Structure 1
Amino acid sequence: MRNVALDLGVREVSFCEVAQQQVVLRRTVKSLKALEDVLGPSAPPATVALEACREAWVVHDQLSSWGNQVLVVDTTRSRQLGIAQHGRKNDRIDAEQMARAVERGAIPLAHVLSAHRRTLREQLAVRRVLVETRASYVTTVRGLVRACGEQVPSCGTGNFVPTVRKTRLRDETRNLIEPLLQVLEALDPQIARVNAALEALCAEEPVITRLTTAPGVGLVVAAAFVSVVDDAKRFRDAHQLASYLGLVPQEDTTGGRKNQRLGAITKQGNAYLRAMLTQAAQSILRLAGDDAMRRWAQTIEKRRGRRIAVIALARRLSGVLWAMWRDGTVYETSEAAAASAKGLRLKVQSAERQALAMQRAAGKARKRARSIDKGLRTACTSPAPTRSTARRAAMN
């Protein structure tokens, strides 16, 4: 097959084809459509390499439908291909280096997500932006009110706007924050709609419900885990997954050093999932009752402090979730006593235990559904801002 590489830019696509380590064809075009004559169904099939990026999955699907074999390059190891060697890096050179690597068979591959997991990740991305925007606005409103010498009572984020409306504030303060409150009133219904869409997507993934049986793991954490991991069997063990997620410590033991030197975690991989697992770990440490993972983390907290205990628990939780997915099991405190993937693997759960755990997960789902329904009803019934309110906001 022909050896081809594409460097996908925002405005241009660089094409390079190599045969016997010699460049036989170069092109720079505005879009993939302009390359249909050399990569389309009527052209001889080619092995095409391209770096993982925002549009990589769409380009992968298009080229595959044209009959080509597509290799998505892991960008964290692109320097192995000679990219940016000797300080020379542009789209044409990058495409040539990748094409030569295709001919040598030395492409470090990135995992290509399945279509449904891509949709799940995109929905999570929309929710993430909306939730972060709401949190930023809430923080800003609270800060402005405090700067005016007043205070908003403590409340949940979902009840923030009604709480502010009921709080006695001076007219100057209320006029100052009114534009932000109007944006928050528009955000809450949108978040409810996105949550409903996410719930529907997760209903098609039985593994997500199974993962929510673990403590501290709700729908969003489980969905993020599934959308990133995609296939549990592509990881050899829990340690390899933790490394993929950037939850393992940095290491420097070269140069004949006898003692292992470890630093902070690498923070490689998906930052959003890493943050979700960290939040889940903090939630586990705050839980009441007896849980094996919580007890294990508390012993670390006594020796090393809470921050290290949270990260260690997040790493351990990722392994437990991976093992549950791999073995088709649900979370049980007794099985997680060793807090390891191996401990989960050694036992076969009874159907009765699994049914009880799934009932608890169904209870979580009903609670989420009630919250989503409440948000959607609010979206349908919330009145539009009055003309006087809009006028005051415009004046400020």
Structure 2
Amino acid sequence: MKTTTFGVDLAKRVFQVHWVDMDTGEINRRQLKREQLVTFFAKQAPALIAMEACGSAHYWARRFASFGHQVRLIAPSFVRPFVKRNKTDVADAQAIWEAAQRPEMRFVAVKSEAQQAVLTLHRVRAQLLKMRRMQINQTHGLLYEFGAAVHRGSHSMSDAARMLGELADALPAMVIDTLREQLQRIEALTRDIRAIEHRLAAWLRQDEGATRLAAIPGVGLLTATAAIATIGEASTFRSGREFAAFLGLVPRQSGTGGRVKLLGISKRGDVYLRTLLIHGARAVLSHPKHLSDALQRLLARRPFNVVVVALANKTARTIWALLAHARTYQSGYVAHAA
């Protein structure tokens, strides 16, 4: 007996399900409420359930897997070509069902609760950093209007507090009080950011894979934990190059008539992890005394930013190799052909 494939269009309250009866060939469409969706799939025989990798997809994937179903998550960009004419919930569910039938379709690994929790910390930290940067820039601008030039960066808040004290007699009290409250908000954001980093560090010490990744040059606390949480399962990618392509660290291609032209990096995939890898590579290259001969030769003939991306690509492949083959990092390791 063949396994039935269900295409589910996720939503907050109203879900759309599409499937085809394997015995009769009848096309079925059904709209279900949130509480009805769980009951519906709990009663079904083990089946293949396909969904878009969107909000709450990993939660529902774990929930359906607990019922004995096989779950496949598909990137929304891979589902879009199968949507016919108008975009509706019915059309989306059918498109998901059709995309799941393709033999070469790429699927997204289902994340565990722990991996989603780590990503939650990263997302909150990134937002707090953005808010702190906005507050600092505004404080610098407001002080500059009164002739106080503060150095750039988050470490200049002590200078800002000192200058604010010097201007206390020259400015209205309401301005001084408001700017002091602004400095207090910046300090509170800094404390919150450090608290999140302490939680990530505690999780890294408990996770064996993240600890192995942290040994790679250019991979620190943020990159190691974000990589573990983003990849999910290393077996999702067939090679390190596929993982690098997933992160957008490979050239875009444009070709016709048998001629292929390589362009800049594609910048597809996870922007956050790609940014961390590039920052890590830039930090490694900023210490030329500790660079390998290969990197020094590459720096001699290629622009600095090109070498940064190349090193980030190599770091991404190394991350995949360590996770896929359960290895530890070895400096100067050379892979041998089978």
2: CA distance between counterparts of 1:35 and 1:277? 40
Q: What letter matches 1:170 in structure 2?
A: L
Q: What letter matches 1:285 in structure 2?
A: L
Secondary structure, in 3 states, of the residue corresponding to 2:290? Answer: coil
User: Offset of 1:93 from its aligned partner?
Assistant: 0.8
Residue 55 of structure 2 aligns with which residue?
Answer: 54
Distance 1:37 1:318, change over 3 A: closer
Residue 141 of structure 1 aligns with which residue?
Answer: 139
Residue 388 of structure 1 aligns with which residue?
Answer: none
Say whether the 8 Å CA contact 2:6–2:97 is kept in structure 1. Answer: yes
Residue 238 of structure 2 aligns with which residue?
Answer: 236
Residue 245 of structure 1 aligns with which residue?
Answer: 247
Residue 327 of structure 2 aligns with which residue?
Answer: 328
**Match for residue 127 of structure 2 among 126, 129, 145:** 129
1: CA distance between counterparts of 2:307 and 2:240? 18
1: CA distance between counterparts of 2:239 and 2:72? 25
Say whether the 8 Å CA contact 2:20–2:26 is kept in structure 1. Answer: yes
Aligned pairs (5 A) from 1:288-299: 289-292=289-292, 296-299=294-297
**Match for residue 304 of structure 2 among 293, 303, 306:** 306
- State the Cα deviation string for residues 143-176 of structure 1 (Å, max 9, x = none): 3323433112456x3x444342223552446445
1: CA distance between counterparts of 2:102 and 2:216? 45
Secondary structure, in 3 states, of the residue corresponding to 2:68? Answer: coil
Residue 185 of structure 1 aligns with which residue?
Answer: 187
Q: What letter matches 2:220 in structure 1?
A: G
User: Offset of 1:246 from its aligned partner?
Assistant: 0.7
2: CA distance between counterparts of 1:43 and 1:217? 45
- Give structure 1 stretches of 5+ with no counterpart: 337-342, 347-396
Segments of 4+ moved more than 6 angstroms: 103-106
Asked if 1:24 is matched to 2:28, the reply is: yes
Say whether the 8 Å CA contact 1:18–1:100 is kept in structure 2. Answer: no
2: CA distance between counterparts of 1:167 and 1:296? 48
Residue 11 of structure 2 aligns with which residue?
Answer: 9
Q: What letter matches 1:144 in structure 2?
A: L
Residue 217 of structure 1 aligns with which residue?
Answer: 219
Secondary structure, in 3 states, of the residue corresponding to 1:243? Answer: helix
Secondary structure, in 3 states, of the residue corresponding to 1:111? Answer: coil
State the aligned residue count. 325
Asked if 1:114 is matched to 2:115, the reply is: no
Say whether the 8 Å CA contact 1:134–1:187 is kept in structure 2. Answer: yes
1: CA distance between counterparts of 2:328 and 2:142? 49
- State the Cα deviation string for residues 343-389 of structure 1 (Å, max 9, x = none): 2x45xxxxxxxxxxxxxxxxxxxxxxxxxxxxxxxxxxxxxxxxxxx
2: CA distance between counterparts of 1:243 and 1:22? 39
Residue 73 of structure 1 aligns with which residue?
Answer: 74
User: Offset of 1:10 from its aligned partner?
Assistant: 4.2
TM-score by length of 2: 0.84
Residue 170 of structure 1 aligns with which residue?
Answer: 167
1: CA distance between counterparts of 2:51 and 2:237? 23
Identity %: 26
